[in-house]
Chains A and B, each alone.
Chain A
Amino acid sequence: MCATQLEVITAMKIRTFGRHIKESLKSLGRNGWMTFASVSAVTVTLLLVGVFVMIMMNLNKVADDLENDVEIKVFVSLDAEEEEVGELEEEISGLSGVESAVYSTKEEELTDLVLDFGEELSLFEQSNPLFDVFYVKATEPQQTEAVAKEIAALEYIEDVEYGEGKIEKLFDFLNAGRNVGLVLILALLFTAMFLISNTIRITIVARRTEIEIMKLVGATNWFVRVPFILEGMWLGILGSIIPIGLVVLLYQKITEFAQPRLSGELFQLLEFSPFIYQVSALILAMGVFIGIWGSFMSIRKFLRV
């Protein structure tokens, strides 16, 4: 008895939900240019947000790459014996904030130089003027300076180099860039939500009397609300199609152009996949969220009939 009653209620709910979906789709078509206006607003804003997110994420990637490229070159003094070098390596690796320390003998250093600058330098093989070195990376690139100073204080250290002055400026610049980007994305998102919910509000205000009539006939608030919310969702989905298409196409072109030119450079752009799919999903999710949210907020005040 109880079970069948539950089944009947569930069947009713499913049927009604089906009705709401049908109703919301029908309403899209019958609202004609209102639908068009809302979809256009969603399209324009999502396109802006999408392109902007694409740029910001890549700038961030470039910044990360540049940061991760920063390392400390530690010159070991000439009077250090093999034993002391081994101790030094342990000491450096043991410092907090040190991610890795790679040892390279002066012979290896010279080989690298020869590779980079040519055979002439191999003359120096007779009397190598170079030092044994450690290449040290900080766990946090921004901590490089502090780590370098700690290392410099150790024994048997001739010198440390980490691009003093230059990297501080680079880090300041990158940090500022990230903050500005974040603020801009937030501002853009906020504007997008405002713009879209406003457009949806206009379409719903135009239908205020419809809502009143529905309530007069005995519709519950949810019965009125759900089709509007679904309609908002469709508007969001429809509005995200063009931005997703354009962003994918644009990024494909960019990676095609940039990838070969950047190979071997210090920084790379984000790979086409999965990055562009993540951006697409983000655009779609934002469209759906903004559509639903816009409908929900706009309809709220008309339901008190």
Chain B
Amino acid sequence: MIQMKNVYKKYPNGIVALNGLNVEIDQGEFVYIVGPSGAGKSTFIKMMYREERPSSGQMLVDGKDIAKLKNRKVPFLRRDIGVVFQDFKLLPRLTVYENVAFALEVIEEKPQIIKDRVMEVLDMVGLKHKAKMFPRELSGGEQQRVSIARSIVNTPKIMIADEPTGNLDPETSWDIMNLFEQINATGTTIIMATHNREIVNKLRHRVIAIEGGLIVRDAAGGDYGYED
């Protein structure tokens, strides 16, 4: 599903974020990406949806070579990848329903299918009754659930989450993790960068630790391993 070979990333300001990284992630896996801030986690995550491009090395996502992907092809890559962020990234002027529907409008889906599918995923994340509300009227946990609904609405093969529980209280975080578990159970690959030790240690999955732009640890069912 995702293959990285000697991926190297140097930013224009001279900082080397990834220093020859090798990794392989299979379809259906649930992977935590851990590591100190500034270790290259964000760059690693951003490369998956081609926000950043490798300076050298090979990187395949769902069979597409990210390094060689043309700019105008990027939207089509992103339609196969769901993204969830710490700050939710919802469109503030659109309602809950419209935010989720947007991902389907982008692929020019038929209105009737959009309607059915959006209500289906809103039901799944438990926000069907808040479909007409605006993001600012929702709690953080609810907003994150909307963004999850949006990321899975067109059934992507891969879901990428960058600190999805970073802004949420522990209880809400567990609700969100339950959703991720459900989504993973349907066969979706989940790659999640996190600083949440409790979650990583309780919900055991593969853990990849990145430090200094390199993978320093890669263990199936591993623990968080840091003291923050």
B:79-103 near A, CB below 8 Å: 79, 83, 89-93, 102-103
| A277 on interface, CB distance cutoff 8 Å | no
Flag if B106 contacts A217 (CB, 8 Å): yes
Given contacts A216-B78, A218-B79, contact A16 B93 (CB under 8 A): no
B108's partner among A15, A31, A212, A215 (CB-CB below 8 A) is A15
Flag if A15 contacts B51 (CB, 8 Å): no
CA distance A173 to B103 in the complex (A): 64
Mark contacts of A218-256 with chain B using CB atoms, 8 A cut-off: 1 yes-contact digit, 0 otherwise. 111101000000000000000000000000000000000
Flag if A218 contacts B76 (CB, 8 Å): yes
CA distance A215 to B107 in the complex (A): 12
Given contacts A15-B111, A16-B108, contact A217 B92 (CB under 8 A): no
Chain B: residues with Cβ within 8 Å of the partner, total of 23
The closest CB in chain B to the CB of A18 belongs to B111
B:54-84 near A, CB below 8 Å: 72, 75-79, 83
Given contacts A12-B108, A15-B111, A223-B106, contact A217 B150 (CB under 8 A): yes
CA distance A15 to B51 in the complex (A): 29
Flag if A217 contacts B93 (CB, 8 Å): no
The closest CB in chain B to the CB of A31 belongs to B93
Flag if A30 contacts B102 (CB, 8 Å): no
Given contacts A15-B111, A305-B51, contact A218 B89 (CB under 8 A): no
CA distance A12 to B106 in the complex (A): 11
Given contacts A16-B108, A305-B51, contact A217 B78 (CB under 8 A): yes
The closest CB in chain A to the CB of B108 belongs to A12
The closest CB in chain A to the CB of B87 belongs to A209
Flag if B108 contacts A217 (CB, 8 Å): no
Flag if A220 contacts B75 (CB, 8 Å): yes
- Of listed B90, B106, B107, B110, residue having the most chain A CB within 10 A: B106
B:90-131 near A, CB below 8 Å: 90-93, 102-103, 105-108, 110-111
Mark contacts of A166-201 with chain B using CB atoms, 8 A cut-off: 1 yes-contact digit, 0 otherwise. 000000000000000000000000000000000000
Flag if A214 contacts B102 (CB, 8 Å): yes
Q: Do most interface residues of chain A lie in helix, strand or loop, or is the interface mixed? A: helix
Specify which chain A residues have a CB less than 8 angstroms from the CB of B111 in the assembled complex: 15
| A104 on interface, CB distance cutoff 8 Å | no
Flag if B89 contacts A216 (CB, 8 Å): yes
CA distance A188 to B49 in the complex (A): 46
Q: How far is the CB of B132 from chain A (nearest CB, A)?
A: 14
The closest CB in chain A to the CB of B49 belongs to A216
B:143-195 near A, CB below 8 Å: 150
Specify which chain A residues have a CB less than 8 angstroms from the CB of B79 in the assembled complex: 218
Flag if B75 contacts A218 (CB, 8 Å): yes
Flag if B105 contacts A19 (CB, 8 Å): yes
A:1-60 near B, CB below 8 Å: 12, 15-16, 19, 27, 30-31
A216's partner among B83, B92, B93, B108 (CB-CB below 8 A) is B83
Flag if A213 contacts B75 (CB, 8 Å): no
- Seen from chain B, the residues whose Cβ lies within 8 Å of a Cβ on chain A are 49, 51, 72, 75-79, 83, 89-93, 102-103, 105-108, 110-111, 150
Minimum-distance CB pairs A-B, first 6? A218-B78, A218-B79, A220-B75, A12-B108, A219-B106, A30-B93
Contact sample, A vs B, 27 pairs, CB 8 Å cutoff: A15-B110, A16-B105, A19-B105, A27-B93, A210-B91, A210-B92, A210-B93, A213-B90, A213-B91, A214-B102, A214-B106, A215-B75, A216-B83, A216-B89, A217-B78, A217-B102, A217-B103, A218-B75, A218-B77, A218-B79, A218-B103, A218-B106, A219-B75, A219-B102, A220-B72, A220-B75, A223-B106
- A sample of 6 more A-B contacts (CB under 8 A), given A217-B103, A221-B75, is A210-B93, A212-B89, A213-B89, A217-B83, A218-B106, A305-B51
